[in-house]
Amino acid sequence: MLAEPSDREALRFGDRSLTYAELHEAAGTLAARLRGKRRVAVWATHTIETCVAVVAGLKAGVAVIPLNPKIGERELDHILNDSQPDEILTEPALSFEDHEDFPEPDDETPALIIYTSGTTGPPKGVVLPRRALKSNLDALAAAWEWTADDVLVHGLPLFHVHGLGIGILGPLRRGGTVRHLVRFDVRRAAHELAHGATMMFGVPTMYHRVADEVEQDPELAKAFGSARILVSGSAALPATDHERIAKATGQRVVERYGMSETLMNVSVRASGDRRPGTVGLPLDGVQVRLVDEAGTEVGFDTIGEIEVRGPNLFLEYLNRPDATKEAFRDGWFRTGDMAVREADGYLRIVGRRATDLIKSGGYKIGAGEIENALLEHPDVAEVAVTGEPDDDLGERIVAWVVPAGAAPKPEELSDHVAKLLSPHKRPRVVRFVEALPRNEMGKVLKRALGT
């Protein structure tokens, strides 16, 4: 599952680090204590201790439940009652002792249980087997030309598949190094990239800050331009930020698409066309199709729901056989995400079926393309587009806009969209807000708008 012990640096958090030999020894010591347990919860702080605890669980064949350290009492109670961990590790002291070797568990053994954000009800526990992690990390290595020579920098949370599953276990499987920033900061990320780091993972809110700062500081732009690859995920990267970063640094950001239940499904290749607004092609071993509401595949340039099949899929929702069954159609996982397949096979995500597919005046409209169009207006800093009931249209398009300065006239923004896209895609309502509600991964919580 992970690279062999060596003197190479495996982890660095601030001024603390562990080599692969030290990581295996510390994790092995803890794994000996966890042996025989079924599940263990880990208080997933931005620390080396969190990583050691996760690796220990993997060594011992124990399912690890990463817990958001900022979680509320009610949600924490739900997760603990649902998962019934045998032990909760808050911040285990590192201990380096002799221990026995651990046999490699079966590929179907649960490795991680990641709880969803719970936007449509109580969080569900996504049970990810070792098979999913191993196959997906190897497919990403092929797509991104990721090797032991790479040094990854990121500041992502460690209770999510992006920051933990890909951002920590990815480098550890390759035999490379991960430098965690503890808290994301553009200048600290640039410092790492200027001093040996070759890759960076981030979410769109982070890259928006990067775009702002590299435009003002040539040294920062040079540092980000020196990266072998910059990867963005967890939400769509606005095309405007993509182009701003490319213009300032000469570096085009790679986008990918995944979710807790599937890990990564699709990505732009390191050597491929890093085209704004697209997430590339299916990863090796992953099958992807776009279907209409009846489950019939749709053609090019037609909005359809993404369905996925492959070794990257989760085992089940913990204690929820009903939800597990409902999530599949003929062996395909129904993601709930909507996309368009372009002529060369690249996918362009247009949003969630529940919140981002707007049915207005007989048209199916993706909120994402309207958001990208509005972000091209100089007076728009941030935007979210939703649909709300309309007696005439079925749904009317609503734009929630954070202005870049003085708020423009609503009709000016509507006309801007109509000119760039088409008249039926223009917002019928524009509402100005001071900020958009977001979760810790930077995703806009559209269900919170208007409440």
Tokens of residue 131, six digits = 């098979």
* pLDDT in the model for residue 223: 97
* pLDDT in the model for residue 362: 65
The mean pLDDT value for 301-314 works out to: 95
- The tens digit of pLDDT for each residue in 369-382 reads 788 889 889 999 99
- The tens digit of pLDDT for each residue in 194-225 reads 999 999 999 888 998 999 999 999 999 999 99
Instruction: Look at residue 371 and give its three-state secondary structure.
Output: helix
Helices 239-249 and 367-375, axial angle in degrees (round to 10): 50
* pLDDT in the model for residue 354: 66
- The tens digit of pLDDT for each residue in 77-113 reads 889 999 999 999 987 778 887 777 888 899 999 999 9
What percent of the chain lies above the pLDDT cut of 90? 71
For residue 179, the cross-strand partners are: 12, 153
How far is it, in rounded angstroms, from Cα 23 to Cα 238?
Answer: 38
Question: How many CB atoms neighbour CB 298 within 10 A?
Answer: 16
Domain that residue 413 falls in: 357-448
Higher-pLDDT residue of 356 and 229 is 229
- The tens digit of pLDDT for each residue in 112-152 reads 999 986 545 578 999 999 999 999 999 999 999 999 999 99
422: CATH: 3.30.300.30
How far is it, in rounded angstroms, from Cα 29 to Cα 9?
Answer: 19
- The tens digit of pLDDT for each residue in 375-404 reads 889 999 999 998 888 877 778 899 999 999
Higher-pLDDT residue of 360 and 211 is 211
* pLDDT in the model for residue 451: 55
In-domain check, residue 377: yes
In-domain check, residue 152: no
pTM, entire model: 0.83
Helices 239-249 and 204-214, axial angle in degrees (round to 10): 40
* pLDDT in the model for residue 89: 94
Here the contacts of 257-261 (C-beta below 8 Å, separation 24 or greater) are 257/233, 257/306, 257/337, 257/347, 257/349, 258/161, 258/162, 258/233, 259/161, 259/335, 259/337, 260/114, 260/116, 260/126, 260/128, 260/160, 260/161, 260/314, 261/126, 261/313, 261/314, 261/327, 261/333, 261/335
Higher-pLDDT residue of 355 and 130 is 130
How far is it, in rounded angstroms, from Cα 254 to Cα 269?
Answer: 7
Place of tokens 């913990």: 318
pLDDT for 315 beyond 90: yes
- In this predicted structure, which of 260-269, 275-284, 416-425 has the lowest mean pLDDT? 416-425
Instruction: Look at residue 120 and give its three-state secondary structure.
Output: coil
How would you list the strands of the sheet with 380-390, edge to edge? 380-390, 394-403, 429-432
Total structural domains in the chain? 1
Spatial neighbors of 391 by CB under 8 A, at least 6 apart, are none
* pLDDT in the model for residue 365: 79
**Short-list 44, 56, 52, CA closest to 17:** 52
Per DSSP bridges, beta strands 363-366 and 357-360 are: antiparallel
- In this predicted structure, which of 95-104, 118-127, 288-297, 413-422 has the lowest mean pLDDT? 118-127
Task: State the average pLDDT for the chain.
Answer: 91
* pLDDT in the model for residue 355: 66
Instruction: Give the DSSP H or E segment for 189.
Output: helix 186-194
* pLDDT in the model for residue 121: 59
* pLDDT in the model for residue 203: 87
* pLDDT in the model for residue 363: 67
How far is it, in rounded angstroms, from Cα 201 to Cα 163?
Answer: 8
In-domain check, residue 260: no
Assess contact for 375 and 407: CB atoms under 8 A: no
pLDDT for 74 beyond 80: no
Instruction: Look at residue 340 and give its three-state secondary structure.
Output: strand
Instruction: Give the DSSP H or E segment for 32.
Output: helix 20-34
The mean pLDDT value for 139-166 works out to: 96
In-domain check, residue 436: yes
- The tens digit of pLDDT for each residue in 42-73 reads 999 999 999 999 999 999 999 999 998 888 78
The mean pLDDT value for 307-316 works out to: 97
Instruction: Give the DSSP H or E segment for 332.
Output: strand 332-341
Alpha helix ranges (H) inside 295-432? 321-326, 367-375, 410-420
In-domain check, residue 30: no
In-domain check, residue 116: no
How far is it, in rounded angstroms, from Cα 102 to Cα 192?
Answer: 35
Assess contact for 239 and 258: CB atoms under 8 A: no
How far is it, in rounded angstroms, from Cα 132 to Cα 252?
Answer: 29
Spatial neighbors of 23 by CB under 8 A, at least 6 apart, are 5, 10, 11, 51, 52, 55, 172
In-domain check, residue 379: yes
End-to-end CA distance of the chain: 45
How far is it, in rounded angstroms, from Cα 180 to Cα 192?
Answer: 10
* pLDDT in the model for residue 379: 93
How far is it, in rounded angstroms, from Cα 175 to Cα 2?
Answer: 7
In-domain check, residue 419: yes
Spatial neighbors of 410 by CB under 8 A, at least 6 apart, are 427, 429, 430
263: left (phi over 0), alpha (psi -120 to 50) or beta: left
